Amino acid sequence: MKKHHLFMAAMAFAMSAHVVTAQPEKEKAVAAVPVKAAGAGAGSAAATLQMKPLAEQTQAALWASRVLGRYHYKAVPLDDAMSVKIFDNYFEGLDSEKLYFVQADLDRFASLRTKMDDAINNEDLTGPFAVFNLFQQRYNERMNYARQLLKTRPDFTLDESIELDREKSPWAKSEDEVRELWRKRVKNDWLRLKLAGKDEKAIRETLDKRYENYMTRMRKLNNEDVFQMFMNAYATAIEPHTNYLGPRSADNFDIAMRLSLEGIGAVLQTRDEYTIIREIVPGSPAALSGKLKVGDRIVGVAQGDKPFTDVLGWRIDDVVQLVRGEKGTTVRLDVLPGDAGPDAKHVSVSMVRKKISMEEQAAKKSIIEVKEGAIKRRIGVISLPTFYLDFEARRRGDKDYRSATRDVARILGELKKEKVDNVLIDLRNNGGGSLTEAIELTGLFIDKGPVVQQRDAQGRVEVESDLQPGLAWDGPMGVLINRGSASASEIFAAAVQDYGRGLVIGEPSFGKGTVQTLIDLDRFSPAEKVRYGELKMTIAQFFRINGGTTQLRGVTPDIKLPVLTDPESFGESSYANALPWVAIKPASYTAAGDLKELIGPLQKRHEARIAKDKEFQFLQEDIAEVLKIRKENSISLNETVRRKERDAQDARAKLREARLAGASGTSSDEPAAGPAGKEARGKVPNPTKPAKAVTAVRGTPRQDDGLQYDERDLQAELAAEKAAKDAKDILLQEAANILADEVGMLRTDTRLASRAMPYMASRNGN
């Protein structure tokens, strides 16, 4: 992760939605001392927790440093030079927008700048934890100040603006300067709600509750969170894709890779002080109980016949730890119905845990029919969110272990029976996963041969190959990628491209050309119950079979679609310490085809088609708007100016609807895809930052309502998410159009087919 994501990742982990999963672990004590928060105002907590490192954390840090120093692909000594990088990473990771610390705070810890290495080597993390404790103090001070500002109505007639992205800005030099930043931030929050039609009383209540919730989230962070943030400041100072995973994060990573869990099948989320049920997995114990509904609030958890534990006000992962358990065991929930008041009758729900598949992250299929005159081309689409593999089940010889390759092979068999003409593997926003799966998935589309090359720290190159003869799909195919396609996705797309096996469509991929392995630090623990966590460590660089690498440059598509992301802020090239691009000797392989003759004509057809497509025109307008906003990096705080911008957005939306209705002959009844406008292009809890990407779906963007995700009605929020998910995906449709064009060219020109795809020569007709 990027250094400026460290604190936000910790806050998200503590408060975001979690699937109830796996086996519980015993709660660890938090080493903390309550102290009065400086500058605390009315309504604030009486005390904050001063975090202190646990002995096992100082030991884990030492062992991690030894492993990183000896076995990392880019072995860097833990010395004073590295200490400086850790120091900078840590401060910027905690306060990426420079909104909490002032320069004097950094100066206060200047002696630590070259002593972070000593802190790790001497097993004394008092200094790094003291930095966090000061951050916690500053955080509460800023939130209390923000709440005090709500007592005075802002002046929206002034001609002033707020900076959207402060990651590259200097630290505030004084308390007055940082307070000015917060005055503008609160003013912007107020103005967003005012423009959305909220009255002054509702605005004050909403924002006061929001800032109070921020403080609550801060109080719920524990020393494991702090330690993980510090260790990731160290790990990412070496190289961007090396991370430390605390015990809980390691457990969740394992669940995500195997796509299965043992639990009740409910997705939980925190709203205010309650743990609510956000989703229920069909067929799960939660669903079969018949007593649980989306929106219900869990206020107590009990194991078997034991008494309930009150969980009101708990952080989400602590609640999940109580609800988790082995299949066959019983858990009871004390539930307050979502549609009832706080004094309503509670419902007790008893469930037996079982194994549940996480189908949302599994491979899925769909078929897109493309018409050209009287001819219909059927394009089979396989969407793959991640390269998952149940490592443990495979290791122990379970014949039914779950993997991406197995699921895709099954789907290909189904698509064959459904007589599709072409297959598209959709890898957009697939950040990777198992290297083994990338190799085996490639093997479904090639007879056999090398797939990827790996070079370790000693310069030794190993060729990883598909050794299984035969193809699961021998027809034409394509791969759809975007900037979010990384690692294993890039290995697969590059191999398909190098073999001439299929067309790569989309935008340049992420550019991650490194291989990571998981190091279980628990092996160094002196006691079974003392957990050290895991390292996800870079151990090699991978190369294409043609000798190139995806590192930094990514995979360049054969057919380019509009670029939706800002490469300066997203992708490998945005990391200052990313490994460089290099090339090695190509592997020995025989191409399956040569698609170069197809690419030019297909690109021309694609460009001609989207030039006439209203939705693509709107997409290009949105891209231009996002780039303009990012370049300006500011937004007006003048109400008149903002209302004009909002009115212009409304007018543009109505014009778009009219143009779409005119093009289709109907009126659009598709719901909004999501908030729009400058003030909405951000992520919680920083609503002022512009997005790094544009969503390519149909639907008139709704105006910004000024609310955070957990401030909206849950049912309305879920409905909006479903609408966005179900909205027309114009890039997917265009990729299908391109593959339909390819089928037509291959079937009408047998000579071209024999040159491009020798096995296609015998295919003819429409």
Return the active site residues. Answer: 487, 498, 512
CA 186 to chain centre: 27
List the one residue out of 189, 214, 259 whose CA is nearest residue 12: 214
DSSP 268-335: EEEETTEEEEEEE-TTSHHHHTS---TT-EEEEEEETTSPPEE-TT--HHHHHHHH---TT-EEEEEE
DSSP letter string over 544-558?
A: -TTS---TTT-PPPS
Kindly write down the DSSP assignment for every residue of 70-85, as one continuous string: HH-TT----SHHHHHH
How many helices (H) does the chain have, and how many strands (E)? 22, 26
How far is Cα of residue 561 from the mean position of the Cα atoms in its chain? 22
Question: Is 558:600 a contact under the CB 8 Å cutoff?
Answer: no
Residue whose entry in the numeric block shows the structure tokens 């120093």: 69
| 8 Å CB contact between 489 and 427 | yes
Q: What is the DSSP string of 218-234?
A: HHT--HHHHHHHHHHHH
Q: Which amino acid would we find at residue 344?
A: A
How far apart, in whole angstroms, are the C-alpha atoms of residue 307 and residue 302? 6
Query: What's the rounded Cα separation, in Å, for the pair 277 and 295?
Result: 5
Structure tokens at 21: 């999963």
**Distance between CA 410 and CA 363 in Å, rounded?**
10
Q: For 97, how many CA atoms within 13 A lie in the half-sphere containing its CB?
A: 19
